[in-house]
Amino acid sequence: MKHLHLLFVALTISSFVVRILLAEFKPAILQGKLFKIAPHVIDTVLLLSGVGLAVSGGWFSGDFAWIINKVVLLVAYVALGVVAMRSTGMKRWIAFAGAVAAFAVIGMVAVTKQGLV
């Protein structure tokens, strides 16, 4: 389960970067069926494998503030990602940087299993 989750972590961030670059330089390519469906499939498998890991690891018992931190950061990542995909110019790149930063902090929290507050 962990390897599946890590695979989809890599797929989600790499597909996000590719889609941002395409949105900036070759937006017509994003109209293809693959680019409309694949991100949703990848993110769904990522989320389901994350929930599966949390349940199988018993991480909902005891101190689980780090999981709440990951969920809040996930919402920030998604919101900033949407802004980045729908914006242009400097606004796109600021939102992109924020989304990547949120994703990086999610990874840090996952590794350390320590909440930010």
pLDDT over 80 at 116, yes or no = no
pLDDT category of residue 62 using cuts at 50, 70 and 90: low
Q: What's the Cα-to-Cα distance from 17 to each of 23, 98, 117, rounded to whole Å? A: 10, 13, 29
Q: What's the Cα-to-Cα distance from 103 to each of 33, 52, 58, rounded to whole Å? A: 26, 19, 23
Q: What's the Cα-to-Cα distance from 111 to each of 39, 66, 86, 105, 106, rounded to whole Å? A: 24, 10, 31, 10, 9
**Phi and psi torsions of 63, nearest 5°:** -85, 110
Average pLDDT of the chain to the nearest whole number:
91
Chain position carrying tokens 């950061």: 73
The answer to whether 95 touches 84, Cβ cutoff 8 Å, is yes
> What integer pLDDT is reported at residue 22 of this predicted model?
96
pLDDT over 70 at 104, yes or no = yes
| Mean pLDDT (whole number) for 93-116 | 93
User: Looking at beta carbons, which pairs linking 9-12 to residues 24 or more positions away fall under 8 Å?
Assistant: 9/46, 9/107, 11/42, 11/46, 12/39, 12/42, 12/43, 12/46
pLDDT category of residue 66 using cuts at 50, 70 and 90: confident
The pTM assigned to this predicted structure is 0.88
Taking only the tens place, the pLDDT of each residue in 10-61 is 999 999 999 999 999 999 999 999 999 999 999 999 999 988 988 887 766 6
| Residue 71 CB-half CA count within 13 A | 8
